Amino acid sequence: MAPYSHDQDLTKQSDRTESALTAAIFRVLRVLARILLRYGVSFQAFSDLAKRAYVESAREDFAIPGRKPTVSRIAVLTGLTRKEIQRLADAEAVSDTLAVERYNRAARVVAGWVRDKDFRNENGKPRALPQEGSDLSFAELVRRYSGDIPPRAILDELLQVGTVERDDSGCIRLLAHAYIPRRSESDKLAILGTDVSELIDTIDHNLGEAGARRFQRKVMYDNLPIEAVEKFHELSAARAQALMEYLDSWLSQHDRDANPASEGEGRMRAGIGIYYFEENLDKGKKETPS
């Protein structure tokens, strides 16, 4: 019998970790590749973005405290050449700030309409609002929850995606308790960037060995009839929306923009995301490309 070797155990553990990481990365990239191909993004363009992400992460996430990141250190961490790193550093920054901000502003207006007692009727439902000329107008709602953006811009967006409508009297009526962009490709893709990155960031945090874990759970069964899935789709949407509205109300009481009287130190960003998924397991295996 060969002598026990602790190094052998470490090697096996390292191999299992590498295998699990490779499989996890492939799952993420497999779905991402479908989106990239749909929008005509070539592998070369994706590769260039991946290089930029590596460089930025090496510079910001793996910097040595008290020392300015150098091109040489970034080259060692990423495996890229110094010339390539310099080229990427000189390239125009990648940003979806405008789309994200537009989405956030519209979402805040809808959330404020749902939770603010000033904009709810005697039954606790969001009231129909005149567009202008009142302390309880749509313009006032936008001013209170979206700052200096023109109310007309928010209204046009909400009308376009079907979140609100004009009633016979010309007042604005809320149709959905959440803002979901349906026609603006840039806004929908901005959600892809923010939501997926936030989920991966949470998983990365939970992979660490120290610190409090962030909430990360899901419930899933894989032998469900179509009829049950249809009912679950409706049930989960209703329950999830109710939970989101409750948590939104709690967070708004502590956010200094929504409640200037909120006290405390520092400036933090926190939230929770819920998503629904399903898959048809009866689909036949796809043919291998010839």
Domain ranges of the chain: 20-90, 97-174, 185-254
For residue 2, what pLDDT is reported? 54
Report which of 269, 244, 243 is spatially closest to residue 254, judged by C-alpha positions: 269
Looking at per-residue pLDDT, the higher value among 49 and 188 belongs to: 49
- How do the residues of the chain divide into helix, strand and coil, expressed in percent and rounded to 5? 55, 5, 40
- The answer to whether 54 and 80 are in contact (CB under 8 A) is yes
Average pLDDT (140-152) is 86
Average pLDDT (132-146) is 87
Q: Using one digit for the tens of pLDDT, what is the confidence trace for 189-199?
A: 888 888 899 99
Topology (CATH) of 97-174: Arc Repressor Mutant, subunit A (1.10.10)
Listed in sequence order, the residues at least 6 apart from 81 whose beta carbon sits closer than 8 Å to its beta carbon are: 75
The CA distance from 220 to 98, in Å, is: 36
For residue 243, what pLDDT is reported? 94
Tokens standing for residue 251 = 């967070």
Q: Using one digit for the tens of pLDDT, what is the confidence trace for 15-45?
A: 888 899 999 999 999 999 999 999 899 999 9
Q: Using one digit for the tens of pLDDT, what is the confidence trace for 153-163?
A: 889 888 888 88
For residue 93, what pLDDT is reported? 74
For residue 29, what pLDDT is reported? 94
For residue 15, what pLDDT is reported? 81
Q: Which of 10-19, 70-79, 115-124, 131-140 has the lowest mean pLDDT?
A: 10-19
pLDDT over 70 for what percent of the chain? 91
pLDDT tier, 7 (very low <50, low <70, confident <90, very high otherwise): low
Q: How far is CA 68 from CA 61, 65, 268, in A?
A: 12, 8, 26
The alpha helices in 39-131, defined as continuous H runs, are 43-61, 71-78, 82-90, 97-115
For residue 184, what pLDDT is reported? 66
For residue 285, what pLDDT is reported? 55
Q: Using one digit for the tens of pLDDT, what is the confidence trace for 89-122?
A: 877 777 666 767 777 888 889 988 988 889 988 8
Using DSSP's 3-state secondary structure scheme, residue 164 falls into: strand
Average pLDDT (113-134) is 88
The CA distance from 225 to 216, in Å, is: 26
Q: Using one digit for the tens of pLDDT, what is the confidence trace for 215-273?
A: 999 999 999 999 999 999 999 999 999 999 899 889 988 998 888 889 999 999 999 99
Is pLDDT at 288 greater than 60 in this prediction?
Answer: no
Residue with tokens 């991946």: 50
